[in-house]
Amino acid sequence: MNKNEVQNELQYIEKVKEINQNKHLQYYIFTMGCQLNENDSEKISGMLEKMGYTRTENSKEADFIIFNTCCVRENAEEKLFGKIGEVKKQKEERNAIIAIGGCMMQEKHIIEKLRKSYPFVDLILGTHTLYKLPKDVYQILQTKKRMEDVVDIDGEVIEGLPIKRNDNIKASVTIMNGCNNFCTYCIVPYVRGRERSRHPQDILQEITELAKQGYKEITLLGQNVNSYLREEKWKEKGIEWEGVYSFATLLNKICEVEGIEKITFISPHPKDFTDDVIEVIAKQDKISKLIHLPLQSGSTEVLRKMNRKYSKEQYLALVDKMKKQIPHVKFSTDIIVGFPGETESDFEDTLDVVRKVNFEQVFMFIYSRRVGTVADKMENQIPEEIKHERFNRLKELVESQIAKNNQAYIGTKQKIIVEGYSKNNENMLTGRTDSNKVVIFEGTPDIIGTMVTLEIVSEHMWYLKGKIV
């Protein structure tokens, strides 16, 4: 789809805006899942605001209610159906439009359940049809009929959608969609389709624009950011745009954007972490030295069954290489406990890697069976109580490491971007260290959005306290 065709779709924004004129309509958006979904929600908000809706945080006041769903783990389903039940009243009382979009809508059994048990839902939107929201809303307003707009074909990369960002200092920029890795536990490749990279020119244009608007921090998003442009085979074909043909060259180029002070990315895959990327991280001050490196399991046998394509030793060797080449590098990770067939000794391997790497942050998940994935059909599913017991042991280890790591911050100087007032303590300003630790400190509002140096004075498990020096 070329940009003109997108513009055609977007003309429906104007039509809806006309219908909504002077009605003072409000929308409520609820987002589940990862930062890619958050970024999609910013685009949904952008379109809705252009259509004449203003945002409300209270679903009871809303005329348009949209849920942007995730299906990576099972608990999201219960949460969604509970939420839809709650808003049924708004449908009856004020004829609100109820829409559901996102990853869960790419699952057939969910669509069937919605059709059967929740017929009052007006619009179902898949992950590849996000940009059609204005046209769908227009048709619903015209016909008052229920719509389903879900396709199985990978959508092309859509450029030029309006966007309403949640923050005015840090911004997320999606650089690629989809995933080709098919880790055996994971639903994402089925609901997000194959890898498709955005053109570097579009990415650079977006980031330059953000810098002009005063944004300081950029998070690059993708399910596997370090395979950027791999499917498109730019490197093999000798294609490039201003020197960009890979993830490493993209990072280098983004570092040139004036005004952007900090660049992070999630998630890279350990198997694709090439030396050129390590070199760029080491060389460029703007790139965060906290690297998110999803481990999933520390057992080579479990990793093989997960189709992760690296061993325990390869993961540790990669970490060691980075520790040698990148001064002050730190790591965060994702770990799944209770994958089918995981033995006590496999789990011990996970604990062993956690001890050795000494992660700054660990996102821990209990394995959740997903319909349609390979692991769902594996024998030796682990009983719930063992999964929970292992989860708790992992959590204990991680928390003891974090407490120890926190001690090491006391007395150090940290350069941070002032993000605003702390949500938990309205008198204090807040920001994050390069290792993503929240720091609170006293200061005046005029320094919001600037970079300051803090001395850390105390630690409190989930945050640090500092003072400006």
If 0-12 CB within 10 Å is exposed, 13-18 middle and 19+ buried, where does residue 142 land? exposed
- DSSP character at residue 411: T
Task: Pick between residue 34 and residue 147 the one whose CB is nearest to ligand F3S.
Answer: 34
Residue whose pair of structure tokens reads 């999803």 in the numeric block: 294
Residue whose pair of structure tokens reads 């260290």 in the numeric block: 433
Decide: is 331 part of the binding site for ligand SAH (CB under 6 A): no
Q: For the CA atoms of 453, 456, 459, 465, what is the dihedral angle to 10 degrees?
A: -60
What is the DSSP track for 264-295? EEE---GGG--HHHHHHHHH-TTB-SEEE---
Stretch that binds ligand SAH, among 211-219, 345-353, 367-375, 418-426 (CB under 6 A): 367-375
Task: Pick between residue 64 and residue 367 the one whose CB is nearest to ligand SAH.
Answer: 367
Q: Tell me which of 103, 207, 244, 260 binds ligand F3S, using CB under 6 A.
A: 103
Q: Tell me which of 314, 365, 450, 465 binds ligand SAH, using CB under 6 A.
A: 365
Q: Phi and psi at residue 173, in whole multiples of 5°?
A: -130, 115
Q: How far is the CB of 293 from ligand SAH (least distance, A)?
A: 9
Decide: is 188 part of the binding site for ligand F3S (CB under 6 A): yes
Residue 414 contact among ligand SF4, ligand F3S, ligand SAH, none, beta carbon within 5 to 8 Å by kind: none
Q: Tell me which of 36, 210, 266, 357 binds ligand F3S, using CB under 6 A.
A: 36
Task: Pick between residue 52 and residue 222 the one whose CB is nearest to ligand SAH.
Answer: 222
Q: Tell me which of 100, 186, 398, 418 binds ligand SAH, using CB under 6 A.
A: 186
Distance of CA 125 to the CA centre of its chain: 19
Quote the CA–CA distance of 49 and 124 in Å, as a whole number: 19
Give yes or no for a contact between 102 and 70, defined as CB atoms under 8 angstroms apart. yes
Decide: is 33 part of the binding site for ligand F3S (CB under 6 A): yes
What is the DSSP track for 179-244? -----TT--HHHHH-S-EEPPHHHHHHHHHHHHHTT--EEEEE-TTGGGTTTTTTHHHHT--BTTB
Q: Tell me which of 127, 288, 297, 368 binds ligand SAH, using CB under 6 A.
A: 368
Give contact residues for ligand SF4 (rule: CB under 6 A). Answer: 179, 181-183, 186, 188-189, 223-224, 269
Q: How far is the CB of 358 from ligand SF4 (least distance, A)?
A: 23
Reduce the DSSP state of residue 431 to 3 states and report it. Answer: strand
Decide: is 192 part of the binding site for ligand F3S (CB under 6 A): yes
Q: In this structure, how many other beta carbons lie within 10 angstroms of the beta carbon of residue 241?
A: 17
Going by C-beta distance under 8 Å and a sequence separation of 6 or more, which residues neighbour residue 46?
Answer: 161, 162, 163, 164
Going by C-beta distance under 8 Å and a sequence separation of 6 or more, which residues neighbour residue 315?
Answer: 270, 293, 295, 298, 353
Q: How far is the CB of 432 from ligand SAH (least distance, A)?
A: 21
Decide: is 34 part of the binding site for ligand F3S (CB under 6 A): yes
Task: Pick between residue 26 and residue 41 the one whose CB is nearest to ligand F3S.
Answer: 41
Give yes or no for a contact between 13 and 20, defined as CB atoms under 8 angstroms apart. no
Q: In this structure, how many other beta carbons lie within 10 angstroms of the beta carbon of residue 138?
A: 19
Task: Pick between residue 134 and residue 268 the one whose CB is nearest to ligand SAH.
Answer: 268
Decide: is 347 part of the binding site for ligand SAH (CB under 6 A): no
Q: How far is the CB of 363 from ligand F3S (least distance, A)?
A: 11
Using CB under 6 A as the criterion, what x/- string covers residues 50-89 for binding ligand SAH?
A: ----------------------xx----------------
Task: Pick between residue 73 and residue 253 the one whose CB is nearest to ligand SAH.
Answer: 73
Residue 189 contact among ligand SAH, ligand F3S, ligand SF4, none, beta carbon within 5 to 8 Å by kind: ligand SF4
Decide: is 170 part of the binding site for ligand F3S (CB under 6 A): no
Give yes or no for a contact between 270 and 279, defined as CB atoms under 8 angstroms apart. no
If 0-12 CB within 10 Å is exposed, 13-18 middle and 19+ buried, where does residue 18 land? exposed
Q: Tell me which of 184, 223, 249, 406 binds ligand SAH, using CB under 6 A.
A: 223
Q: How far is the CB of 69 from ligand F3S (least distance, A)?
A: 7
Q: Where does this chain bind ligand SAH (CB under 6 A)? A: 72-73, 185-186, 188, 223-224, 267, 269, 294, 296, 334, 336, 365, 367-368, 370
Interface residue list for ligand F3S (CB under 6 A): 33-34, 36-37, 70-72, 103, 188, 191-192
